[in-house]
């Protein structure tokens, strides 16, 4: 009888220890989550496979998003365009302001090459050429963009252009951009484009070589995309994808002056908190009695 009572007391004590450790773990985890902030107007981290939001800070606020718009432009071109078809660069495309590849009016560029120019160099000239080719005009392509976005559940965004230069009715959210990126990363060509640091013209018989301006590819091991952005209205923006243990973590920061370091900070936070949540308390406690 005494042995039974003794065993019951041991089991009870172990259970109390487990409960205390679990309670401490939850409290510490909540403290980490509640106190963590980054120097950005809007930010979010998303598990691409599950769609789970891992971190958010004003992640659903509607704001301008600059050239991160081009993520949607690229997806539509890859999904709906004939990538080997040649597109003639218009005067409108060649003379657009802002970041450009440098295509000349009258040049004939394959649609596939335009998508590389769009994402590697953030080419506004490439964006207009794609829009005119697939939508007949910027306005026609914008209709395609809005219809497509709504069809995949991007509901808090509105697109007026394929490039993202500031306009009153052109906006999105960090969450919507993460959803768009998750969609894009389903396509092998999209993944190749946004995840490559350079591409030789010889690989696909392009007209020129391309170097990617997205520094995140060099700064974080495992980074495999996606797109930078900047306008006066939107501030500095960055949509990133980082592959960790075979899974893509999508991170978006909008109106973020220190976008490279803040993205790294969010990534580190996600790894720490996810590891914390997955910690097996029972195994830890019983392991101490071995």
The average pLDDT across 210-235 equals 98
Q: What is the pLDDT of residue 290?
A: 28
Q: Would 165 be classed as within a structural domain?
A: yes
Q: Would 200 be classed as within a structural domain?
A: yes
| pTM for this model (two decimals) | 0.85
Structure tokens at 240: 């990133």
pLDDT digits (tens, 9 = 90+) for 2-26: 656 656 666 566 666 655 654 554 4
Q: Would 8 be classed as within a structural domain?
A: no
Q: What are phi and psi of 237, to 5 degrees?
A: -130, 155
Q: With a cut of 60, say whether residue 28 has pLDDT above it.
A: no
pLDDT band at residue 283 using 50, 70 and 90 as cut-offs: very low
Q: Would 1 be classed as within a structural domain?
A: no
Structure tokens at 256: 């973020």
Number of domains composing the chain: 1
Structure tokens at 191: 């993944």
Look at 29-33, 131-135, 141-145, 229-233 and tell me which has the smallest mean pLDDT.
Answer: 29-33
Is 152 exposed, middle or buried, given 0-12, 13-18 or 19+ CB atoms closer than 10 A? middle
| Rounded alpha-carbon distances, angstroms, from residue 62 to 136, 153, 230, 235 | 28, 15, 16, 14
The average pLDDT across 241-257 equals 97
The average pLDDT across 130-143 equals 98
Catalytic annotation, residues: 67, 70, 122
CATH number of the CATH domain containing 70: 3.40.710.10
| Of 40, 173, 198, residue with least CA distance to 119 | 198
Dist CA 44 CA 14 (whole Å) = 39
Q: How far is CA 71 from the centre of its chain?
A: 9
The tokens 């800070």 sit on which residue? 57
The tokens 């590849």 sit on which residue? 101
Q: Residue 143: in which H helix or E strand, if any?
A: helix 138-151
Strand-pairing partners, residue 164, are none
The average pLDDT across 137-158 equals 98
The average pLDDT across 61-77 equals 98
Phi-psi region of 225 (alpha: psi -120 to 50; beta: other; left: phi over 0): left
Dist CA 124 CA 135 (whole Å) = 16
Burial of 20-37, coded b for 16+ CB within 10 Å and e otherwise, reads eeeeeeeeeeeeeeeeee
Q: Residue 115: in which H helix or E strand, if any?
A: helix 111-120
- The answer to whether residues 127 and 148 touch, using CB atoms and an 8 Å cutoff, is no
Q: What is the pLDDT of residue 31?
A: 46
Q: Would 290 be classed as within a structural domain?
A: no
- The answer to whether residues 253 and 38 touch, using CB atoms and an 8 Å cutoff, is yes
Q: Is 74 helix (H, G, I), strand (E, B) or coil?
A: helix
Is 83 exposed, middle or buried, given 0-12, 13-18 or 19+ CB atoms closer than 10 A? middle
Dist CA 250 CA 182 (whole Å) = 7
* Terminal C-alpha separation, the chain: 25
> What is the domain extent for residue 80?
40-280
């Amino acid at each position: 009888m005494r042995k039974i009572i003794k065993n019951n007391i041991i089991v009870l004590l172990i259970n109390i220890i487990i409960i205390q450790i679990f309670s401490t773990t939850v409290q510490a985890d909540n403290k980490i989550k509640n106190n963590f902030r980054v120097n950005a107007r809007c930010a979010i981290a998303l598990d691409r496979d599950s769609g789970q939001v891992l971190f958010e800070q004003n992640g659903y606020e509607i704001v301008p998003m600059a050239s991160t718009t081009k993520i949607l432009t690229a997806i539509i071109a890859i999904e709906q365009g004939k990538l080997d078809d040649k597109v003639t660069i218009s005067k409108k495309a060649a003379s657009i302001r802002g970041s450009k590849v440098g295509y000349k009016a009258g040049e004939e560029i394959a649609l596939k090459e335009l998508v590389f120019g769009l994402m590697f160099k953030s080419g506004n000239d490439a964006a207009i050429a794609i829009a005119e080719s697939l939508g007949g005009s910027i306005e026609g392509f914008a209709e395609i963009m809005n219809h497509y976005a709504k069809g995949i559940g991007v509901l808090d965004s509105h697109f007026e252009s394929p490039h993202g230069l500031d306009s009153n009715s052109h906006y999105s959210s960090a969450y919507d951009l993460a959803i768009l990126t998750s969609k894009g990363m389903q396509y092998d060509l999209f993944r190749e484009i946004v995840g490559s640091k350079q591409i030789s013209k010889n690989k696909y018989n392009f007209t020129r070589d391309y170097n990617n301006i997205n520094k995140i590819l060099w700064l974080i091991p495992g980074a495999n995309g996606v797109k930078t952005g900047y306008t006066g209205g939107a501030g500095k923006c960055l949509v990133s994808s980082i592959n960790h243990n075979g899974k893509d973590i999508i991170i978006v920061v909008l109106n973020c002056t220190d976008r490279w370091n803040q993205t790294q900070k969010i990534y580190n936070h996600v790894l720490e908190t996810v590891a914390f949540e997955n910690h097996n308390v029972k195994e830890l406690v019983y392991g101490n009695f071995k």
